Amino acid sequence: MSFKPVGFRALLIASLSVTAFAQDPVRDLAARFDGKVSVYAKNLKTGATYSLAGDTRVNTASTIKLPILIGVYAAIAEGRVKWTDLSELGKENKVGGSGVLNEMSDGTKIPLRDLVRYMMLLSDNSATNMVLDHVPGNSVNKTLEKLGIHETRSLRKILRGTIPEGISDAGRDPANKSFGIGVATAHEMVTLLERLHRGELVSTAASAEILDIMKKQQGRQGLPRRFDVDVADKPGALDHLRSDVGIVYSKLGPVAIAITCWDIPKIDWSPDNPAYLFIADAARILVENLTKPAE
């Protein structure tokens, strides 16, 4: 089994989780899923964890926007950029895919504070590239390295055409060629989420503000789907990939979860994509079992 408890109370809880997971329903769910999966989860109250390929390096899709946001807050704290710094929208920085800025008028000036909200709340691709103009991938990655995050990296901007732009040093590494705009592990994403929860990233206020932004993001197909409690998350999607990273604030304690599904054979942009259903069902199982109280 892949549950790792920490401390005596966590040991009791995780022991019950192992019993409840005698057949490991997450692994069973993955075996029935047509594609590959990586899962890591941690009860942020007890320390109990679950991993299924949780240290596998995966394509982040838009979940890399969370590390980018952390990098922006670090740059703000260090005085390298200001929330009032403006970007002017034009043909040269409009990107297709998710978001709304691609449809807005050229010449619109947008402050960095608003850009990061477009990036996170609507997963706006144009906003993301404009954010990376202020805080490039190399800067984001230096912040991650300082935090002890060694695998998760911003690799490049989102493609406007066929020629990649804004390539970071990590993006030039041949080992990262297949990962698109970002690479991460589920384990490291959960580590970032845990440190946000504990108020340890940049500052207590910055950590709280980042989580507040994440609670307001508009895509509810994945982690939030089966819950009627707050979920602070950032999803991602490509033709053959779905991912979601976030914290489920269950009544029995917060659980940080990162899940990526890839090599999905069928392109399906409906809210009922099988990968979204896997993420939702796996999250429900994880929260139920990682928060079981000791008897």
Q: What is the distance between the alpha carbons of residues 162 and 175, in angstroms, rounded to a whole number?
A: 20
pLDDT band at 23 (very low <50, low <70, confident <90, very high): low
State residue 294's pLDDT score. 64
Average pLDDT along the chain: 92
Across the chain, which distance is largest between two alpha carbons, in Å?
Answer: 62
Provide the residue ranges of all domains of the chain, joining segments of one domain with +. 1-56+185-295, 64-166
Q: What is the distance between the alpha carbons of residues 252 and 236, in angstroms, rounded to a whole number?
A: 27
**Mean per-residue pLDDT for 167-182?**
97
What does DSSP say about strands 49-52 and 231-238: parallel, antiparallel, or unpaired? unpaired
Is 1-56+185-295 assigned to CATH 1.20.1560.10? no
CATH of domain 64-166: 3.40.710.10
- In this model, does residue 292 exceed pLDDT 90? no
- In eight-state DSSP terms, residue 124 is -
pLDDT band at 18 (very low <50, low <70, confident <90, very high): very low
Is the Cβ–Cβ distance between 152 and 183 less than 8 Å?
yes
- In this model, does residue 14 exceed pLDDT 80? no
**Mean per-residue pLDDT for 240-252?**
98
pTM > 0.85: yes or no: yes
- In this model, does residue 161 exceed pLDDT 90? no
One fold for both 1-56+185-295 and 64-166?
A: yes
- In this model, does residue 267 exceed pLDDT 70? yes
